[in-house]
Amino acid sequence: MANIAIIDDHPVARLAIRMLLEKDEHSIVLEADDGLQGLNLIQTRQPDMVIVDLDIPTMSGVEVIEKLRAAGFSGGILVLTGRDDAHFLSRCQQIGADGFVSKRNNLEELGDAVKAILRGYSYFPRKRSDGSALKTDDQETTALTQLSSRELQVLRYLAQGLRLVDISRQMHISNKTVSTYRNRIMEKLDISDLPALLNFARRHHLD
């Protein structure tokens, strides 16, 4: 069976994941509630698979995936998240994740996803055609894909109502750098004021 790392900032979620995986005789070699901490531990322990949430402090799940692949990590990477919007799924595919499972399914798919990835397959949901997903303008969706992982993280923090100083603490960067990211985001999205930016973020479930 596989050695697996879990990066999720919710203790209850980590426990549920651990219990499910250990039932299938996998070993949990590390748990982390912080993206940066998880990245550092993975580089020293080299698990066979990483299960990572997108909404984690210090370094988002998207950025963790990017840095792992850039560093040559060849193990499986499974995203387990409460966010199932199309742009999150597409971004994770683009940067090297092997699978994507929504927590909204009560972890029912987790075991199947882990098995598929360990066998060398990917595990991504088919695009929904029942109209249940929020429909957004194609140009907006395209513009959103132009944001870097750090810019996307800043946008999400802004949508959650955090001040620049709070974002700088969360991301361990300066206020000036956060402000620069905000300005780049507005330029890339062709948005001229903060209320419009926040409305954009909420339309795309980034809050």
Domain with CATH 1.10.10.10 in the chain: 138-203
Angle at CA 35, nearest 5°, toward 75 and 141?
A: 85
pLDDT at 137: 55
The string of pLDDT tens digits covering residues 145-185 is 788 888 888 998 898 888 999 999 888 889 999 999 999 99
pLDDT at 48: 97
Q: Is 184 strand, coil or helix?
A: helix
The CATH number corresponding to 138-203 among 1.10.579.10, 3.30.230.10, 1.10.1060.10, 1.10.10.10 equals 1.10.10.10
* 132 or 91, greater pLDDT: 91
Domain with CATH 3.40.50.2300 in the chain: 3-118
pLDDT at 101: 92
Of the candidates 8, 182, 26, the residue with the CA atom closest to the CA atom of residue 115: 26
The string of pLDDT tens digits covering residues 49-74 is 999 999 898 899 999 999 999 999 99
Sign of CA dihedral 21, 96, 71, 170: negative
- The architecture that CATH gives domain 3-118 is 3-Layer(aba) Sandwich (3.40)
